[in-house]
Structure 1
Amino acid sequence: MKVLVLGAGIVGVTSAYQLAKAGHEVTVIDRQKGPALETSFANAGEVSFGYCSPWAAPGIPLKAMKWLFMEHAPLILRPKVDAAMLCWLAKMLSNCTSKRYAINKSRMLRLADYSRSSLAALREETGIEYDQRMQGTLQLFRTQAQLDGSGKDVKALAADGVPYEVLDRDGCVRAEPALAHVRDKIAGGLLTPKDETGDCFKFTNALAKKAEQRGVRFYWGTEVNRLDVEAGRVRGVMTNSERLPADAVVVALGSYSPLLLKRYGVKLPVYPVKGYSLTIPITDASRAPESTIMDESYKIAITRLGDRIRVGGMAEISGYTNDLTQARRRTLEHSVMDLFPGGDVSEALFWSGLRPMTPDGTPVIGPTKIAGLFLNTGHGTLGWTMSSGSACVIADLLSGRRPEIDAVDLAISRYA
């Protein structure tokens, strides 16, 4: 089957690789000059199969009101006259119940656990190196209230069989020795030892080369203007230079997916939530992390990537803007230097990207009402984490095979 994959971020490239492995003739189209040059470029670096939680959770509306007045707020809302933003916010609020949280988290953990095994198989198959480490994620609680409030996450992890450890202050220092310098700032932590870290940009570029070896073609610097749809079936796409025919099309355009789809009556509830990161060269390894620490107070991930520290986080709801705000940089610097002052922030690379978020936290993977048109998008902050499993699901569905996990509730039909 001739398949077009739209988008060459981590989700698009892994999809292309798995589709080619399944025997399809695959072409990838991207407007950039190479792989992973947008949201996948400098993400937090954590591959957190255990730390998968919907942003929509009980208590979030009240917390959000408080965050709006914090100097180092994890959530920044810049309201504007935007129907898509208002609709998305309303749907997200409707998911902030205990019942919806449990359903959404269980669904996310199912996909994440599958992605863990899929990534391990892909790594063994390809031998790709990407500054990977297999030392887990430590969710760090600065207050006793945060530690006490982790009970709902522990319950969900236990229900899905995800390994975890609840740690006291000494346990956190054993997991991350550099925290010994700031032990008085720690109340405890939640360790998910099966989590990993790695440079998503390096991985995506290396996998794109492996995909080319399997016959995948890449069209760089190419804009997708519209889909070619006839009699309820997709026939290809129209780019800025030519028409490319196809038997099937996979949309993996991240936050830009709904902009392409809306003219065809496919209402995809994905909205961009901007995140920021710093990439800092390590100057003192004894004051740097060994793996990933999630600073619960600021919702910021601090990750070791080789000889660098990647600091990523925050959620700014401001539409399709990619400006670099210095106030956000100060928040990232505050979090990392307060815990791990082992890098030179004056030499840091400051970056922002638009995460494609769904209101329930789960990506949208599967067919649409248009025959031959498939979606693999909406992964939010977990595109790197869920990419391998998502790619295997989409390859199975497109090939007419039953996926190895239940994928019915991953499709866009769940919003109907």
Structure 2
Amino acid sequence: MKVLILGSGVVGTTSAYYLAKAGHEVTVVDRQPAAAMETSFANAGQLSYGYSSPWAGPGIPLKALKWLMMRYRPFVIWPRPDARLGWWLAQMLANCNEDAYRLNKGRMVRIAEYAREQLIALRAETGIAYDDRQRGTVQLFRTQAQLDHVGDDTAVLGQYEVPFEVLDVAGCVAREPALAAVSGKFVGGLYLPEDETGDVHQFTQRLAKLCEGLGVTFRYGTTIRRLTVEGGQVSGVETDAGLLTADRYVVALGSYSPALLRPLGMNLPVYPVKGYSITVPVTDEAAAPVSTVMDETYKVAITRLGDRIRVGGTAELAGFSSTLRAPRQRTLEFSVGDLFPRGGDLTKAKFWTGLRPMTPDGTPIVGATPLPNLFTNTGHGTLGWTMACGSGRVLADLVSGRAPEIPSGDFALSRYSRDGVVGRQAQAA
């Protein structure tokens, strides 16, 4: 069967890999000159299986107001007329309750843990390397209130048998020895031993080469214009290089997926949440992180990638803006400089921004659509790298007509409504 995948980020490329392994003739289309050149280019670098959580949760609206007032704020909204943002925020607020949080986190952990198993198998089969480490993640709490609420997350981790350890200060230092120099700045942490780290750009580009070895064709530098529909199904994809056709189509365009599907009457609740990162060279091995430290107060991830430190964070609601804003860099530099003051050379920091495709409930939209030969694999938010192998394998099984190895019905667009269209507000937006 011929399958056309739209998008060559980590999600589109892993989808291509698993579809090719399933025996399909796969073509990947992307406007960029190579794989992983947009959101998958320089993310925070952690594979956060146990840390997979929805942003919407109890108390988040109040916390968001406090974050907006912080000097080094993890959350920023740029006031602008944007009906889709208002619609998306309303849906996110509707998920800020205990029942929704447990439901959403449960399915996010389900796909994340499956992704971990798939990546381990892929790595063993191919020998792919990407500055990867399997050393776990420390979620670092600067306040007692943060530590006191750790049970909110560990209850779900226990339900899905995800290993964890609640740490005191000494425990955090044992996992990340460089933190001994700043031990007065935190009160404890949560250790997730099965989390990993790695350079998603390296991984995706090297996986694309492996895909080519399996017969996958990558059509880079090709702009996608629209989907054509005939007889109740997709008949082709109009591009600046002409019409491309296949038997099955997969939309993996991240934040740009809704614009492609909206003319077909499908309103994906995916909004671009802008994130930033800096990459700095390691100057002192002993003073640098071993793996990933998640600074819970500033929502900043500090990750070791070979001889570099990747620092990622900030949620900025600014539409599709790609402007690099200096205050966001200062937040990242403050967090890493405060916790690892001698670890890296901030004067050589490389500053980057990307658009995370976020759903209001945190779960990606993976699976069938109202059109029988059209599928989606998008909306992973900050967890595209974490969930890519899991959602890619699930997507490949669904396209192939096989039942996935994990329950997947609640990943599809249909979870928002029976007919796959997200309410009247979506139509108006």
- TM-score, normalising length: structure 2: 0.96
- 1:158-213 deviation line (CA, Å, top 9, x unaligned): 11110000000000000000000000111000000000000000000000000000
Counterparts of 1:353 and 1:33, CA distance in 2: 17
Counterparts of 2:182 and 2:414, CA distance in 1: 48
Q: Which residue of structure 2 aligns with residue 219 of structure 1?
A: 219
Superposed displacement of residue 68, structure 1: 1.2
Query: What RMSD in Å do the two structures reach over aligned CA positions?
Result: 0.6
1:7-406 equivalence runs, <5 A: 7-341=7-341, 342-406=343-407
Aligned-partner residue type, residue 407 of structure 2: D
Aligned-partner residue type, residue 386 of structure 1: M
Counterparts of 2:331 and 2:397, CA distance in 1: 42
- 1:43-77 deviation line (CA, Å, top 9, x unaligned): 00000110011000100000111111111111101
Counterparts of 1:238 and 1:60, CA distance in 2: 41
Aligned-partner residue type, residue 249 of structure 2: V
Counterparts of 2:39 and 2:28, CA distance in 1: 17
Counterparts of 1:251 and 1:241, CA distance in 2: 18
Counterparts of 1:152 and 1:272, CA distance in 2: 27
SS at the partner of 2:63?
Answer: helix
Aligned residues: 416
Aligned-partner residue type, residue 147 of structure 2: L
- 1:279-315 deviation line (CA, Å, top 9, x unaligned): 0000111110000000000000000000000000110
Superposed displacement of residue 126, structure 1: 1.0
Superposed displacement of residue 232, structure 1: 1.1
Superposed displacement of residue 87, structure 1: 0.2
Counterparts of 1:177 and 1:7, CA distance in 2: 40
SS at the partner of 1:259?
Answer: helix
Counterparts of 1:196 and 1:396, CA distance in 2: 25
- 1:345-366 deviation line (CA, Å, top 9, x unaligned): 1111100000000000000000
Counterparts of 1:123 and 1:355, CA distance in 2: 25
SS at the partner of 1:68?
Answer: helix
Superposed displacement of residue 79, structure 1: 2.5
SS at the partner of 2:184?
Answer: helix
- TM-score, normalising length: structure 1: 0.99
Q: Which residue of structure 1 aligns with residue 411 of structure 2?
A: 410
Counterparts of 1:114 and 1:66, CA distance in 2: 35
Counterparts of 1:285 and 1:40, CA distance in 2: 26
8 A Cα contact 1:294 1:302, kept in partner: yes
SS at the partner of 1:156?
Answer: helix
Please, which runs of 5 or more residues in structure 1 have no aligned partner? none
Aligned-partner residue type, residue 405 of structure 1: I
Aligned-partner residue type, residue 9 of structure 1: G
Worse-matched range after superposition: 275-284 or 228-237: 228-237
8 A Cα contact 1:236 1:248, kept in partner: no
Superposed displacement of residue 388, structure 1: 0.1
Counterparts of 1:78 and 1:60, CA distance in 2: 19
Counterparts of 1:352 and 1:387, CA distance in 2: 20
Counterparts of 2:240 and 2:346, CA distance in 1: 41
Counterparts of 1:173 and 1:248, CA distance in 2: 51
